[in-house]
Structure 1
Amino acid sequence: MKKKKPDSWEIDRRLRERAEAKLASIELTNGDRYHLMQYTDKRLHELQVHQIELEMQNEELRRLQLELEEARDQYINLYEFAPIGYLTITEEGLIDAINLTGASLLGLDRRKLIRRRLSSFIAPEDRNRWDCHFLHSKQKNSKQSIELNMRRFDGTVFYAYLDCLPMKTKNESMPIITLRITMTDITQIKVAEQQLRIAAAVFESQEGIFVTDNKCVILRVNQTFTKITDYAAEEVIGKTPRLFQSGRHDAYFYQTMWDSINREGLWKGEIWNRRKNGEIYPIRLTITAVRDQNDLVSHYVATFDDITLNRLASDEIERLAFYDPLTDLPNRRQLLTQLNQALAASGRHDNIGAILFIDLDNFKILNDTHGHHQGDLLLQQVGKRLLTCTREDDTVARLGGDEFVVMLENLSINIEEAITEARTVGAKILVALNQPYSLDACEHGCSASIGVVLFYNHQSTVDELLKQADVAMYQAKTAGRNTLCFFDSNLQTEVVAPRATLPDY
């Protein structure tokens, strides 16, 4: 039977037994024993000191080991969870290592990214740029940077800033070049830049813009602001919009404006401002309150348009709609409006008014003989003369052709006195219109026939009053022209019938 080989523990036991037996067989003198004991004690002390040194060294090694592990863990945390992606790519452009942030940016598990080509995560429009940059980076010994449109594994796009540092490692035959890359997502920065460009373009729009702080101190203006107001930026920055006030608006107007801004955060309306040269002009203004993250007003933004031309055009449209273009007198539409207002006022206050219906005598002869241009010149002069014969509160209007109407308001509350006042104005008109007219081609004489009707207490409508004045004017025509007649209701039926046969002159 084959003997079993003793193990190491059995060998150590036997060796110790033999050593103890040999030590016991040695006969020592007392002196030898003393020296042996001293030697033994010394060696034992040295062993104890050495043991303590080893324990201290072990303790230091354990401390250093813990620090190393902590540093390693901290490095791993910093590497893995850094706000930017770290990756290493091979000379062929394959991903060799990548941290968790980089894997998250590319949208794929880190294990599946290893040995994938980095260019597959670059948007097609930027791949040629990356290829050139990759070759260029491998040839340089310094960091190279580039911005790229990158595409995650799911197809979504983000903007990235890449820093590429070449690293050379020696091989048996030739050096191997790898690229250490930091990858930063700059999508928000790019979006912010785009928004700033848009905001800058909007700020330099065709509208005037100025921005104030919450104390209404001007911080910034655009170029259109300067074009409209004539103020350069340095002349208004640090000042308040009170600089532009025209004086046409009272404190209540501004109080209402600020009530709207404070309540709704917005005010829109038209306002009169003053340019640097003192000219007062109208603008269409919008003021918007800007609030911070605490919902407190931080700024006000005002945008405005110079509507001077619009206002002029609007005034011109109104003038054409309500005024006669030849004489600049109110036309029939405006006259009817003012007559209705006068009738309403007369009813409220028991005032008496009068309508004077004026028709030029022999006007057709002038047109037929010298042409319509001369007739127009005469009509313009008639309008001016009528204005000189009336009060500022009276109305002078041209109905059309050679027919004019004068409306007198606030006559005496006594009928007889009101008739006298109307007759006086009518007589003054007859004298004025009977004076010779200096025209381009000739000097012409022209008289007028006037029909007068009084109104008070809503006794008649506007249409009825005009018809009655027209009847009275016909009475003046039949009486020989160049005269004035008051409306007589008893004669109305007799006079209206032959009106159609009256010659048109």
Structure 2
Amino acid sequence: MNNSADTQKQKKLRDRAEANLAYQNQPDRQPVGNDPRQLLHDLHVHQAELEMQNEELRRAQAELEDSRMLYRDLYDLAPIGYCTLDDEGLIVQANLTAATLLGVAREALVKQPIRRFIAKEEQDTFHFYNQQLISTEGLHTCDLRMVKSCGSTFWVRLSSVCEASPGNKPVYRLTFGDITESKNLEEALRDQKSFFHLIAENLSDFIAVLDTEGSRLYNSPSYEQFFGNVSDLQGTNSFAEIHPDDRERVKQVFMETVRSGQGRQIYYRFVLADGSIRDMESRGSVIKDRDGQVVRVVVVSHDITERNRLLEKLHQMAFHDPLTQLPNRRLFGDRLSQAMAASTRSSCYGALMFLDLDSFKPLNDAYGHDVGDLLLIQVAERLKGCVREIDTVARFGGDEFVVMLGQLDMDEAESISQAGSIAEKLRVALAEPYILNIAHAGEVESVVSYRCTASIGVALFNHQETSQGAILKRADAAMYQAKHGGCNQVRFCRAQAA
């Protein structure tokens, strides 16, 4: 029952009592107590009324106790601290959570200044917060560190409002909750982000963060050597600068990484604005959201142009003659193995030519090895100019060269004819004069014209050949026949009989 209803009920009871009293005081009114039965009835009615009033009072007390317990649950046992402050910043009231967070008995908090529980390094922040709270209406929030009675600090999110009290003095309602764990996580994330940027911005490798369509979201500063200002790259297509011949393959690998969540290593070429080409090696990894969906792809790349150049140089050194750049014995052996395997598959003949220069030693004796090297370089060029692209010219050492002809014909006679034509072409080309420019220290360069022929031995081989050594031995023997026959000649040794 609300206050207004209680007031009206009390007024009605008072009016009724006054009316009864006036009635009983009338001169001709008979005393009520003359009838014992009526008096007993009235007493019973009055007793019933009292019992009803008592029951209503007990119900009101129970409701009051329920309200008190609800207040205790909502206020005292709330998961955040509640405090009421007076206009001087003294704690007037606090709940159990506030006392627990501050490590002080609730009774001991009363009349304590709230500043006592603000960490020393946060006093300026709290002062500014108070000024805002006083001068501006509404809810104010800030994060700062509070200090417990034991001296340890913890992060809280402080929220306050200013209200007017009955005495027209301001009263401050304040709440705070422990956010230390979330602050620690934020700090850890900041540290990780700073660590990532420190690594990304100081590595020579290229780090890119892409969305699932391949658009650039971040590029490490190392990309400046390719594009200049990396901030201009944000939002651009990461596939645009990939060599056209490699682009679709790289796209397919990227989309497979997004689909499967598994990155793989890939090699491709990068075309820069000036048209230069860089060889790149990349590997992607993915970033997933809470639902396990791929949302980002991190690509770490290396510029392997110089590495490839060095590898090519090592390969060249390992498999090519350093003077003439022709294949050496090792590479020639591999090419001959391939030619023998091809002959087995096709039943076509191949031919191996062994060439030895006829008058190379006199040149070396007369002018020195440097001039001899000039002649060998020209010999190599002439040999390469007389054969097909599928054929191989190699230097075996000194003034010895070999030429391998592959895939001639299935007929032996026709193969001999083809090989003979090429051998004769080689003999004629090598017999032409060599013009050698000889440089002397401190003197004018001189020119020497020199003739140097070659003796050529040719050995045919087919699928019945058993070894490289056997083919070389027959070609070498044919070459010596040419030497003994007067030099500048071609001699043949047929394929080994079945």
Q: Could you tell me whether the CA contact under 8 Å between 2:75 and 2:95 is conserved in 1?
A: no
Equivalent residue of 2:381, what SS? helix
Equivalent residue in structure 1 for 2:210, among 209, 212, 216 = 212
Aligned-pair RMSD on alpha carbons?
A: 4.9
Corresponding residue of 2:388? 391
Matched to 1:221, the amino acid is N
CA contact (8 A) 1:344 1:458 kept: no
2-side partners of 1:223 and 1:313: how far apart?
A: 26
Residues 62-106 of structure 1: CA distance to partner in whole angstroms, max 9, x if unpaired? 89998788656544334xx31x799x9xxxxxxxx99647857x9
Show the counterpart of 2:334.
337
1:455 counterpart = 2:453: no
Match of 1:464 among 448, 452, 470: 470
Is 1:266 aligned to residue 266 of structure 2? no
Contact 1:451 1:474 survives alignment (8 Å): yes
Q: Residue 201 of structure 1 is aligned with which of 198, 216, 219?
A: 198
TM-score of the superposed pair, with normalisation by structure 1: 0.65
Query: Shift in Å at residue 271 of structure 1?
Result: 1.8
Aligned equivalent of 2:219: 221
Match of 1:248 in 2: 245
Could you give the per-residue CA deviations for residues 205-246 of structure 1, whole angstroms, max 9, x where no partner exists?
A: 432233232333333323223433557443551x43331231
Deviations along 1:429-455, whole A, 9 cap, x unmatched?
122212222223242221211111011
Change (3 A) 1:252 1:136: closer
Change in Cα spacing, 1:76 to 1:330, as seen in structure 2 (3 Å) is same
Rounded to whole Å, the distance in 2 between the matches of 1:151 and 1:480 is 111
| Aligned mates of 1:131, 1:151 — CA distance in 2 | 12
CA distance, structure 1, for counterparts of residue 429 and residue 366 of structure 2: 23
- Residues 248-397 of structure 1 correspond to what in structure 2 (within 5 A)? 248-249=245-246, 251=248, 254-255=251-252, 258-259=255-256, 261-397=258-394
Q: Residue 9 of structure 2 corresponds to which residue in structure 1?
A: none
What is the deviation of 1:397? 0.7
Q: Does 1:473 align with 2:479?
A: yes
CA distance in 1, matches of 2:76, 2:292: 42
Q: Summarize the Cα distance change of 1:434–1:132 in structure 2 as closer, same or farther, 3 Å threshold.
A: same
Q: Tell me the number of residue pairs that the alignment of Structure 1 and Structure 2 aligns.
A: 403
Structure 2 CA distance for partners of 1:224 and 1:135, relative to 1, 3 Å: closer
Report the CA distance shift for 1:357/1:151 in structure 2 as closer, same or farther (over 3 A): farther
| Secondary structure of the structure 2 residue equivalent to 1:265 | coil
**Residues 269 and 280 in structure 2, CA contact (< 8 A), matched pair in contact too:** yes
Verify: 1:445 aligned to 2:451, yes or no.
Answer: yes
Corresponding letter in the other structure for 1:201: L
Q: What amino acid is aligned across from residue 404 of structure 2 in structure 1?
A: M
Contact 2:219–2:233 (CA<8 Å) still a contact in 1?
A: no
Q: Using structure 2 for the length normalisation, give the TM-score.
A: 0.66
Distance 2:426 2:25 in 1: 168
Deviation at 1:265, TM superposition (A): 2.4
- Which residue in the other structure is 2:408 paired with? 411
Contact conserved, 2:104 with 2:149, CA < 8 A, in 1? no
Secondary structure of the structure 2 residue equivalent to 1:398: strand
Given that residues 158 and 187 in structure 1 are in contact (C-alpha distance below 8 angstroms), is that contact kept between their aligned partners in structure 2?
no
| Partner SS, residue 262 of structure 1 | helix
Contact 2:408-2:418 within 8 A present in 1 as well: yes
Distance in 2 (alpha carbons) for counterparts of 1:265 and 1:448:
61
**Contact 1:231-1:276 within 8 A present in 2 as well:** no
Matched AA of 2:462: Y
Structure 1: which 5+ runs fail to align?
1-29, 38-54, 89-96, 116-129, 166-179, 491-505
Q: Which amino acid aligns with 1:469?
A: A
Structure 1: how far apart are the matches of 2:475 and 2:82?
96
Indicate if the aligned counterparts of 1:472 and 1:488 stay in contact, CA closer than 8 A. Answer: no
CA displacement at 1:263 relative to structure 2: 3.0
Distance in 2 between residues matched to 1:335 and 1:353, nearest whole Å: 14
Alpha-carbon distance, 1:489 to partner: 9.2
Residues 158 and 286 of structure 1: is their aligned pair in 2 closer, same or farther, counting only changes over 3 Å? farther
Q: Check whether the contact 2:350–2:460 (CA below 8 A) recurs between aligned residues.
A: yes
- In structure 2, the CA distance between the partners of 1:249 and 1:455, relative to structure 1 (3 Å rule), is same
Specify whether residues 131 and 233 from structure 1 end up closer, same or farther in structure 2 by C-alpha distance, changes over 3 A only.
closer
Report what 1:234 is aligned to.
232
* Identical residues among aligned pairs (%): 29
Match of 2:427?
430
Judged with a 3 Å threshold, the aligned counterparts in structure 2 of structure 1 residues 251 and 197 are, in CA distance, closer, same or farther, namely closer
* Structure 2 SS opposite 1:410: coil
- Bigger mean CA deviation after superposition, 181-190 or 218-227: 181-190
For the residue of structure 1 that corresponds to 2:326, the secondary structure is coil
Structure 2, unaligned stretches of length 5 or more? 1-23, 32-53, 86-93, 110-118, 133-141, 161-174, 439-446
**Distance between the aligned counterparts of 2:25 and 2:72, measured in 1?**
60
Q: For 1:302, what is the secondary structure of its paired residue?
A: strand
Q: Return the offset for 1:356.
A: 0.8
Deviates more, 1:383-392 or 1:227-236: 227-236
> Does residue 497 of structure 2 align to residue 486 of structure 1?
no
Q: In structure 2, what is the equivalent of residue 77 of structure 1?
A: 77
Q: Distance in 1 between matches of 2:238 and 2:123?
A: 57
Whole-Å Cα distance in 1 between the matches of residues 468 and 477 of structure 2? Answer: 14
